[in-house]
């Protein structure tokens, strides 16, 4: 996936399938570093002007701001992460569910848009047997691209982690 990704918008079913598929066996501080570093590598390859954040149980475990990102990206990260924490689903999926009902998150959630943003880029960190324990968030690209970058990193991390565990 590149920042010029022109694929169609994923359906709610596709987004829900991503969440079912991307369940981790564990998520430690070292895992946060590995996932964050993987995301930084993807962003650097694409010269993506993003900020990246990983939170677990209310604690920031990783943060990076790449060239071209701004303080506004950090504000977006916080707002998108709050949606994941509140709904237990990807921020993009939450927004898509509201749009599917013919409304918007801002109009119908009854949540302060200065504190919550159902825009793509924050994805739940879901651990087997524990559920959603945190979020990985990307901000700086159009919302679907932010979402796709987070998903791609989790897919790679999970695939590499499985190989690492089997070694």
CATH number of the domain within which 154 lies:
3.30.450.150
Asked whether residue 3 is domain-assigned, the answer is no
Give dist(CA 74, CA 65) in Å, integer: 9
Query: Could you give the C-alpha distances from 7 to 10, 141, 146, 148, in angstroms and in order?
Result: 8, 15, 14, 11
Residue 75: inside a domain: yes
Q: Check residue 161 and give its pLDDT.
A: 75
CA distance 38 to 59: 20
Asked, for residue 76, whether it belongs to a domain, the answer is yes
- The arithmetic mean of pLDDT across residues 98-121, rounded, is 97
The parent domain of residue 95 ranges over: 12-166
Is 96 part of a structural domain of the chain? yes
Quick check: is 110 in a domain? yes
Strands 59-65 and 122-127 turn out to be unpaired
Give the pLDDT band of residue 167 (cuts 50, 70, 90).
Answer: very low
Question: Helix 91-100 vs helix 71-87: angle between axes, to the nearest 10 degrees?
Answer: 70
The total number of structural domains in the chain stands at: 1
Tell me if 139 is assigned to some domain. yes
**Model confidence, pTM:** 0.92
């Amino acid at each position: 996936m590149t920042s010029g990704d022109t694929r169609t918008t994923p359906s709610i079913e596709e987004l829900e399938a991503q969440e079912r598929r991307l369940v981790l066996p564990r998520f430690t501080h070292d895992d946060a570093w590995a996932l964050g570093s993987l995301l930084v590598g993807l962003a650097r390859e694409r010269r993506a002007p993003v900020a990246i954040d990983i939170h677990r149980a209310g604690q920031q475990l990783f943060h990076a701001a790449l060239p071209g990102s701004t303080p506004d990206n950090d504000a977006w990260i916080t707002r998108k992460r709050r949606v994941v924490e509140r709904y237990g689903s990807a921020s993009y999926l939450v927004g898509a569910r509201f749009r599917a009902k013919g409304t918007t998150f801002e109009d119908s959630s009854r949540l302060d848009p200065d504190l919550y943003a159902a825009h793509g880029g924050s994805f739940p960190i879901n651990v087997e047997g524990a559920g959603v324990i945190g979020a990985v968030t990307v901000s700086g690209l159009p919302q679907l691209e932010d979402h796709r970058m987070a998903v791609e990193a989790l897919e790679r991390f999970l695939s590499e982690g499985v190989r690492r565990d089997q070694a």
